Amino acid sequence: MLTIKRVPTVVSNYQEDVLLESNVVGCGRKCLGKCCLPVSMLPLYSFKNDDNEPMEHNIHTLPEEEYQISFLNNLLLGLWEERMSQGLFRYDVTTCETKVIPGKCGFIAQLNEGRHLKKRPTEFRIDKVLQPFDENKFNFTKVGQDEVLFRFEPSTDYKRRYFSGMGVDAGISPSIVAINVSPIEYGHVLLIPRVLDCLPQRIGRDTFTIALHFAREMADPFFRVGYNSLGAFATINHLHYQAYYLSVPFPVEKAPVRKILARKGLGGAGVIVSKLLNYPVRGFTFEGENGSTIRDLSEVVVNSCISLQNKNIPFNILIAQCGKKIFLFPQCPPTTVTEKGSLFTYGIAGNNRAANVGSGEDGVYTALPLP
């Protein structure tokens, strides 16, 4: 008999209010705020920062490069499992029951009560994609450093390096990789670009490339990076990306597409934009041609996202194939949405999965047929 611990849905153990001692230095919690982070030592992974390097040469070029890239993959998994052994997660996601729904898409259903029960109310409006950052509401500067795996920063010499402990330089706002304490899948982490800048949840030109570099450096086709805008199931208005492993292709990765246009990059190579065909939700793919760079791909995707944001159209992003292919899912402008989201809207659009069935929906899950 499967037993799932019933816990509040939060992304950090520090999301709930706690009382603090009045005689401690700073906030006394070793958080990621300006009170604690600048005097802290955290692991640092420096990635090769060359946005103009052709993308087909990013992976498996030299034995030394291959070793360095696989090192980050092993590092993340090792630290993630270490946090699991320390009891930092709200539940054991590896025990959540899953099944494949028969049909041409092959969607995956997961019964994950631990993520959805007693969900914390959303602290911002759901009918506006662009909203200012509010320091009085939960944000990632309040996360404890025990939930941090490592900093993810561009190198200064175009080489990949890892430091087990490195201080944060004055004036630097580091990008952080931390666990999601309410995971959807194995290895579920949060990528928080420039955490001290307190950026709201919106796509920008300089921060989106960090997510592409993260996917590229992981160099694992089963590791995907995702983004949810406000109004498309983002629950915290502090810039962050979700990322986790799934050992099979997402249904959308197998969907047929039709090319609709191509954009030339700075180096002459193009970015191909295609439309999903015969898929339950609207979506587009962006894929670089041979010779295209991270900058080429990023520019086209970011321009599309900024256009959607400015028109108050919520959307979801999936970064697949180690950063080489990006899926964009525009959503209907939000008006009235239930707090949990509908069963299939959340699964297909937000996570490209069939369902993440929450509290009170176990009967629906049970009713889903096995192949």
Tell me how crowded residue 304 is: count the other CB atoms within 10 A of its CB. 19
Spatial separation of the C-alpha atoms in residues 363 and 104, rounded to whole Å = 24
Q: At what angle are helices 205-218 and 63-85 packed, to 10 degrees?
A: 100
β-strand partners of 144: 31
> Collapsing DSSP states into helix, strand and coil, what is residue 207?
helix
Looking up tokens 């999601």 gives: 180
Angle subtended at Cα 95 by Cα 118 and Cα 337, rounded to the nearest 5 degrees: 35
Residues 39/163, Cβ–Cβ less than 8 Å: no
Q: What value does the CA radius of gyration of the chain take, rounded to a whole number of Å?
A: 20
Supply the DSSP symbol for 169.
P
Catalytic site residue from 188, 213, 238, 240: 240
Cα–Cα distances in angstroms (integers) from residue 7 to residues 92, 249, 296, 321, in the given order: 11, 29, 43, 33
Which residues does 189 contact at the CB level (< 8 Å), separation at least 6? 76, 80, 149, 177, 178, 179, 180, 242, 243, 244
Say whether 213 is catalytic. Answer: no
Residues 297/55, Cβ–Cβ less than 8 Å: yes
Give the sheet arrangement for strand 241-245, strand by strand: 161-167, 41-47, 148-154, 176-179, 189-192, 241-245, 223-228, 315-320, 325-330, 284-288, 270-276, 257-264
Spatial separation of the C-alpha atoms in residues 368 and 73, rounded to whole Å = 34
Residues 149/79, Cβ–Cβ less than 8 Å: yes
* Total residue length of the chain: 371
β-strand partners of 287: 272, 325
Spatial separation of the C-alpha atoms in residues 83 and 181, rounded to whole Å = 9
Residues involved in catalysis: 240
